[in-house]
Amino acid sequence: MNDFSSHLSVTVALYVLNCVATSTVSLHRDMDGERIDFINRCHHDGKRGTWTARRNFRIGQTDEEKRALTGVLFRPTTLPNLPPSHPTRAVASLPATFDARLKWPNCTIISDVRNQLQCGSCWAHTGASVISDRLCIASPGQKTNFKASVQDILTCNNKVPWNITSSCFGGYLDTPFAMWTTTGQYSGVVSGGEYGSSIGCKPYTAMDAACSLSCSNSDYGNSYANDKTHGFRAYNLGLPYPSTKETPTSAAIIDAIRNDIMTNGPLAVAFDVYADFYLYGLGIYKHTTGSSMGGHGLTVIGWGTDGGVDYWLMKNSWGPNWGSLGGFVKFLRGINHLGIETALAAALPLAPAATPPTTAKTSMTGRN
Ligand SMILES: *[C@@H]1O[C@H](CO)[C@@H](O)[C@H](O)[C@H]1NC(C)=O
Ligand SMILES: *[C@@H]1O[C@H](CO)[C@@H](O)[C@H](O)[C@H]1NC(C)=O
């Protein structure tokens, strides 16, 4: 007993020394530094962590600045649901690892990581990303590297028949796909590049503005109306909202999500974001420490398993210097961690070419 308790007290003392850099509360306390230290040097949940942290933002980044980098509002149940998942061609067997960048190498747009800056437009960023990726994937020779405009989605989404406004103060994952697939002069999405670029019809400004039916880039050679692309059908996949988190998600749901990514391309996804996510470096992210910062939207482009832990491969919109994977992140898969397997959204760019086989219908019941 004595040996055991002395061993225990030594362990606890080391833990405190290693994991808490300072217990002195001061105005200049580096909370993120302490979190990085905790994540990298400590074992959590009684096990070694699945990821390592690093500093991606300035020392002293405030909670207000962190919150401005998110922007997903979770969809109230009073809003119309998008149609349930369309039948998709069944994939005979799902590979253990999938990366859309490798499956569709001509679609270099899938690797394009954008930066939302201090505007809560993650919902518009993941929408623009999914629209761009899927237009390319469905195009002949997969050469249509059309860069959908976040700014067009940000400023014109309130004109579509949804009676809600998504903005720099946050928005809904479904909104870009509703805008892309409805008809009318405000519907559809034009092209537009990064903040400060002169790419496309409406480059990103990181600011809300009134919807304008013209290109802001005067050097762009196409008219606003001609530049519009349209989707065919918007839909949700995954667990219905609201869902139970941190419990196993059924294989049918996981496989429906995977099948859709492999067949049609990336999907928009949202989760509850915490302060440690900003510090992602390498490995499979699992919430470890830090307080809630709201909801965040990303684009899921694949999946895999590392060291026996399943993950989703996702693209963030915090620039290519966030994390050690060039702006991409591996995120714990299979237990609806922070709601990640709930109400994913996307749209098809074109009508499906052929009637899918009936077997697909049983494997694609994403919202039952
Ligand atoms: C990708 O581009 C190459 C070069 O133009 C072309 O030969 C190939 O067919 C394209 N791949 C697909 C899947 O269309
Ligand atoms: C739109 O929202 C407003 C404000 O919440 C509400 O008063 C109005 O009835 C809604 N319109 C429709 C068509 O649902």
Instruction: Report helix, strand or coil for 23.
Output: coil
Token pair, residue 325, equals: 């994977």
Whole-number pLDDT of residue 359: 38
∠ CA 91-340-189, nearest 5°, is 75
Q: Would you say 173 and 188 are in contact if contact means Cβ atoms under 8 Å apart?
A: no
Does ligand 1 lie within 6 Å of residue 106's CB atom? yes
Ligand nearest to the Cα of 105, by number: 1
Residue 321 within any structural domain of the chain: yes
Residue with tokens 């237009």: 135
Residue 302 within any structural domain of the chain: yes
Does ligand 1 lie within 6 Å of residue 141's CB atom? yes
Residue with tokens 């405009």: 149
Residue 47 within any structural domain of the chain: no
Residue 26 within any structural domain of the chain: no
Distance CA 355, CA 148 (A): 28
Mean pLDDT by 10 residues, the chain (368 residues): 38 38 58 92 68 95 94 73 60 89 97 97 97 95 93 93 82 92 91 97 97 96 95 89 95 93 95 97 95 96 97 98 98 98 90 45 30
- CA 104 to ligand 1: nearest atom: 13
Candidate of 104, 107, 108, 142 to mutate for ligand 1, largest count of ligand atoms within 8 Å of Cβ: 142
Does ligand 1 lie within 6 Å of residue 132's CB atom? no
pTM: 0.86
Distance CA 211, CA 203 (A): 14
Does ligand 1 lie within 6 Å of residue 307's CB atom? no
DSSP at 354:
S
Q: Catalytic site residues?
A: 122, 296, 316
Residue 32 within any structural domain of the chain: no
Residue 24 within any structural domain of the chain: no
Whole-number pLDDT of residue 183: 86
Token pair, residue 34, equals: 């302490």
Residue 43 within any structural domain of the chain: no
Token pair, residue 63, equals: 């909670």
CA 142 to centroid of ligand 1, rounded, Å: 7
The boundaries of the domain holding residue 356 are: 64-363
> For the chain, what is the domain count?
1
Does ligand 1 lie within 6 Å of residue 263's CB atom? no
Residue 8 within any structural domain of the chain: no
Q: Is the peptide bond before 242 cis (omega within 30 degrees of 0)?
A: yes
The domain that holds 353 is classified in CATH as 3.90.70.10
The residue whose C-alpha atom lies closest to atom 9 belonging to ligand 1 is 141
CA 105 to centroid of ligand 1, rounded, Å: 9
